[in-house]
């Protein structure tokens, strides 16, 4: 079992430290986690999606307390303001108190939604996570960023609300369909450019552990994304815009699939701005493909309107009344403000033609 400590307030702030446990069978530690981190809790609300709730292993979930299951629909559409209200009202109807605990069991959609509902309920109720997908284990469940989507864009409404613990049970990954594996690998590819250049050569448990540790380091340095934590969004500005367009069009696109394409877009944009070479662009494509993720626009979105994508990117949370992107360069990956719309549109056109 791999254990990674996360200290959002920085090292030395012992009261804020929580653990991420990675390994086969980690989910059985849930009751122990709840008892040690939320000792006053007398009740639990287990939030999951309908697909996870239907699996045989879900019946073994045990927070060690009386609990109710609150299941939402599977997929990105579950990340809605309406579902936050629904969950909070259900929490209230079951008598969940501020001293109790919310348990998120699922992938990134569930952790984002349940974490935000916990942040809102009683102005902050403890929550912990059993992450069931590769995407959640290497990214979404770690670091306390919670939220839901608005029609204007992804993750525009949310809160920083840290979990009291995260369990990454690698045995559960065996149940994932192929595209969920791809989605998680898109996030793994990102960490190659954030200090883990040999990540693809490691065993799966080590890939997850190293990714968690890398993210923990960024969170410890910058809990609320005012500085170095923003680098974790590498590839995400374009990815979130592509996801929003796909959602509007009813296209089936997973987050990690979009991130893979977003990494390539970021490389094309960086080259256009004179920040990186042709060889570095090729390395981005090679890295994405090595993690078995496509480096091209997905089927059905090859002819997406670049101006529509640009409009979504202009509303990205990194923007400060300008276009801002995390881009590779001579000093590594960094946040670049004031990118010209014409360069963004040209990079989108280049991506669509390759």
70, 214, 229, 271: the catalytic one is 229
Tokens of 350: 């280049």
Distance, in Å, from the CA atom of 240 to the CA atom of 121, rounded to the nearest integer, reads: 27
* Under 8 Å between Cβ of 47 and 103: yes
89 part of the active site: no
32 part of the active site: no
Report which of 67, 81, 68, 152 is spatially closest to residue 112, judged by C-alpha positions. 81
215, 254, 271, 318: the catalytic one is 215
225, 257, 284, 317: the catalytic one is 225
145 part of the active site: yes
59 part of the active site: no
70 part of the active site: no
Element (H, E) at 85: helix 81-93
76, 180, 187, 243: the catalytic one is 187
Q: In terms of C-beta distances under 8 Å and separation of at least 24 residues, what long-range contacts does 43-46 make, across chains too?
A: 43/67, 43/94, 43/95, 43/96, 43/97, 43/100, 43/101, 44/100, 44/101, 44/102, 44/103, 45/70, 45/87, 45/90, 45/91, 45/94, 45/96, 45/100, 45/101, 45/102, 45/103, 46/70, 46/103, 46/105
190 part of the active site: no
240 part of the active site: yes
215 part of the active site: yes
98 part of the active site: no
- What's the CA angle centered on 21, arms 58 and 294, to 5 degrees? 75
285 part of the active site: no
Tokens of 41: 């809790």
210, 214, 240, 254: the catalytic one is 240
Tokens of 64: 């060690």
76, 185, 233, 257: the catalytic one is 233
The set of catalytic residues is: 123, 145, 187, 215, 225, 229, 233, 236, 240, 255
């Amino acid at each position: 079992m791999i254990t990674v400590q996360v200290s959002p307030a920085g090292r030395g702030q012992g009261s804020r430290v929580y653990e991420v446990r990675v390994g086969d069978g980690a989910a059985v530690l849930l009751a122990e986690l709840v008892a040690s981190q939320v000792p006053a809790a007398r009740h639990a609300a287990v939030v999951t999606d309908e697909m996870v709730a239907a699996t045989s292993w879900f019946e073994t979930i045990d927070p060690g307390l009386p609990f109710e299951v609150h299941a939402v629909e599977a997929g990105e559409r579950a990340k809605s303001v309406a579902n936050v209200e629904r969950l909070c009202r259900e929490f209230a109807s079951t008598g969940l108190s501020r001293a109790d605990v919310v348990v998120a069991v699922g992938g990134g959609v569930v952790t984002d939604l349940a974490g935000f509902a916990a942040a809102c309920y009683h102005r902050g109720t403890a929550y912990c996570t059993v992450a069931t997908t590769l995407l959640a284990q290497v990214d979404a469940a770690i670091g306390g960023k919670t939220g839901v989507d608005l029609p204007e864009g992804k993750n525009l409404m949310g809160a920083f609300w840290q979990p009291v613990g995260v369990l990454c049970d690698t045995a559960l990954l065996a149940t994932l369909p192929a595209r969920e594996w791809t989605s998680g690998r898109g996030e793994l590819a990102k960490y190659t450019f954030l200090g883990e250049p040999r990540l693809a050569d490691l065993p799966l448990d080590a890939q997850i552990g190293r990714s968690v540790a890398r993210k923990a380091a960024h969170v410890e340095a910058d809990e609320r994304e005012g500085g170095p934590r923003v680098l974790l969004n590498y590839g995400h500005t374009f990815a979130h815009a592509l996801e929003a367009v796909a959602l509007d069009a009813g296209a089936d696109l997973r987050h990690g699939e979009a991130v893979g394409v977003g990494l390539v877009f970021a490389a094309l944009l960086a080259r256009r701005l004179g920040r990186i070479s042709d060889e570095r662009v090729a390395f981005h494509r090679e890295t994405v493909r090595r993690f078995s993720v496509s480096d091209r626009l997905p089927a059905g979105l090859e002819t997406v309107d670049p101006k529509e994508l640009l409009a979504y990117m202009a509303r990205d949370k990194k923007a400060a009344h300008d276009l801002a992107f995390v881009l590779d360069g001579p000093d590594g990956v960094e946040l670049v403000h004031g990118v010209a719309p014409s360069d963004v549109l040209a990079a989108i056109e280049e991506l669509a033609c390759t």
